[in-house]
Structure 1
Amino acid sequence: MTSVSESIRIDSPVETVFEYLDDPYNHAEVTPSVTNVQNVERLNNGGKRLDCTYTMAGVGLNTELEQTVHEPNRRMVFDMHSGIDGKLELRFAEVNDGTEVTYTAEYEIPGRVMSKVVKPFAVKYNERELRTALENLKQRLELEGESEE
């Protein structure tokens, strides 16, 4: 299992940040590799199940995400099923009138030989992807907050 994690502080209340990311279509707005969000279904736990495309190195993977944990203003966990299976976790914490968001991705690269070749690339790619998604999220929410003032 491979794991990458990134954190960022956003000058927006935790409720605003959680609410924004609670909408699956917003993930496609801030995460460059996520497109074609569709078939969104609300689950009994408050979470969502959805289909999307996740692109890595120019290869689009049809991906199913199921939100197994939905703790408002605290945590979201998604099981990911595609060519690469894994888990995505978002944690939210109030800090100094803002929010710290920690985004962790754990995934399994299939095939023993393939994982040895692909793993270093996949780790760097996903570290950059998490960092970009969090920076986009910060920019989107902080700019929205300024325009409301």
Structure 2
Amino acid sequence: MFSARDTIHVDADVATVFEFMDDPHNHAAVTPRLTDVRDVEPLENGGKRLSFTYRMAGMGIDGELVQTVHEPNERMAFEMRGRLEGTITLEFEPDGDGTALTYAAEYDLPENALTSLGEPVVRRFNERQLRATLENVAERFTLEGD
């Protein structure tokens, strides 16, 4: 099981950042290597279920995300199903004039990704991808404010 967690300041209020991240298509816009989001359907808890494709180690990995927690302006949690299994949690907190956005992920990787690249390489890769996602969200709002 791999885990990664990081936080970034976003120059927008909590409600705006939550609304942006509540649209699964925006995840594809800010998450490196997330190449497709499809079959989005609403859930009774306010969350969504969707299918995705993520590119890693030269291969497309298809899966499903189910939003298990949808607490407006506070927290989202997703269960990843398929070849990538685990959880993703996004937390939103007021931070001065903006938002502290925390992204935490715990997941198991397909065995062939580990064996072809090695666990330390895969761990660093995924930590960089998580950080890049946060930076892309922050940049999205910095550019809008300019």
TM-score if structure 2 supplies the norm length?
Answer: 0.92
Which structure 2 residues correspond to residues 106-145 of structure 1 after superposition, within 5 A? 106-109=106-109, 114=114, 118-145=118-145
1:37 partnered with 2:37: yes
Structure 1 SS opposite 2:45: coil
Among all aligned residue pairs of Structure 1 and Structure 2, give the percentage whose two residues are the same amino acid. Answer: 51
Instruction: Name the counterpart of 2:17.
Output: 17
Q: Which residue of 2 aligns with 1:101?
A: 101
Residue 74 (structure 1) aligned with residue 82 (structure 2)? no
Cα distance in 2 for residues equivalent to 1:110 and 1:31: 19
Alignment of 1:42-57 (within 5 A): 42-57=42-57
Gaps in structure 2 of 5+ consecutive residues: none
Structure 1, gaps ≥5 residues long: none
CA distance in 2, matches of 1:123, 1:62: 20
Task: Give the 3-state SS of the residue equivalent to 1:80 in structure 2.
Answer: strand
Task: Output the aligned Cα RMSD.
Answer: 1.6
Query: What do the CA deviations read for 1:10-59 (whole angstroms, capped 9, x no partner)?
Result: 11101010000000000000001112111000000000000010111221
Q: Which runs of 4+ in 1 moved over 2 A?
A: none
SS at match of 1:140: helix
Superposition deviation, residue 110 in structure 1: 5.2
**How many residues are treated as equivalent by the alignment?**
144
Q: TM-score, normalised by structure 1?
A: 0.90
Aligned to 2:83: 83
